[in-house]
Amino acid sequence: MLTVGLFPNLKKAQVDAVLHKIVSYLTERGVQAIIPCETAEIMQFSNMVCSTVPLDKIDVALSLGGDGTFMNIARNIAAKKIPVCGVNLGKLGFLTEVELSEIEDALDSLIAGKYNIEERLMLETTVERLDDSIPSTLALNDMVITKNGYSRMIRLNLFVNNVYTATYPADGLIIATPTGATAYSLSAGGPFVAPSAKVMVVTSICSHTLHSRSLVVSEEDIITITIDDTSADVVLSADGQAAVNLTPKDKIMIRKAPDSARFIRFYGKSYFDILRNKLYRGDFYNQ
């Protein structure tokens, strides 16, 4: 029996109706749906299997929300090698695969196994700090090192494979995966990158120089960043959702994560279709 894990963002206005529709549709077709117990209680699913989400029992995962919800789920289940499909309840929904009008067709394809799985690079960051232990952090889109609050411009030293590469007087640095190239990095002037490219992109934020350009390196390279300012107030964020306060003597090391995120992609859709329809048309501002 196919088992589908449902991970809704309860803050989305339409999530109640969409979740009930999906559960009914799957149940009628003999598919087991699993949902976190706290979510099942809030949504009043008395006839549904609920648990603390035993990931080993899930065949596929459905993210119900926007890109932030999708990224959070994709990171959390990557180590279990469970593919995730996103249903867009947000605005842009660049990472999510399914729009509301496509839900039934998408569920039929999931049940029939008619989909591809794309493996996407994730980043792992470790912070080396004297006399302290900082847990490693994962990101699907990007790692961002930036000034905090009203701090002045900062100076960041970049090393690739322990070779000094550049010093950036800027508001910060973005280290993006191909998936994250269409997010913050793009807004800061970075390039579009096909998701199949095995690279990382380094883009500065408001760099105070006339020659700053994005740097594209191999996914196998190790990026190291140090803070060249003893008074700087600097933070590290992962996918814009987790932050670590940095100190001037910290060494930030960013590399390919041991696990990849697994995206479900249906036949007939491509990255370039989404790129054209979502970004070039400006859907973010029209919705």
Kindly list the catalytic residues: 67
What does the DSSP assignment read for 126-195?
Answer: EEEETTEE---EEESSEEEEEE-TT---EEEEEEETTEEEEEEEESEEEEE-TGGGGTHHHHTTPPP--T
Q: Is 124 exposed, middle or buried (0-12, 13-18, 19+ CB in 10 A)?
A: middle
Residue-wise over 230-239: b if at least 16 C-beta within 10 A, else e? eebbbbbbbb
Sequence-ordered list of residues with C-beta below 8 angstroms from that of 259, at least 6 positions apart, any chain: 78, 79, 81, 122
Helix (H, G, I), strand (E, B) or coil at 59: coil
Burial class (CB in 10 A: 0-12, 13-18, 19+), 229: middle
For every residue of 210-232, DSSP letters joined together read: SS---EEEETTS-EEEEE--TT-
CA distance 276 to 22: 29
H helices then E strands: how many in the chain? 7, 20
φ/ψ (deg, to 5) at 114: -95, 75
The answer to whether 199 touches 185, Cβ cutoff 8 Å, is no
Q: CA-to-CA distance for 37 and 262, rounded, in angstroms?
A: 25
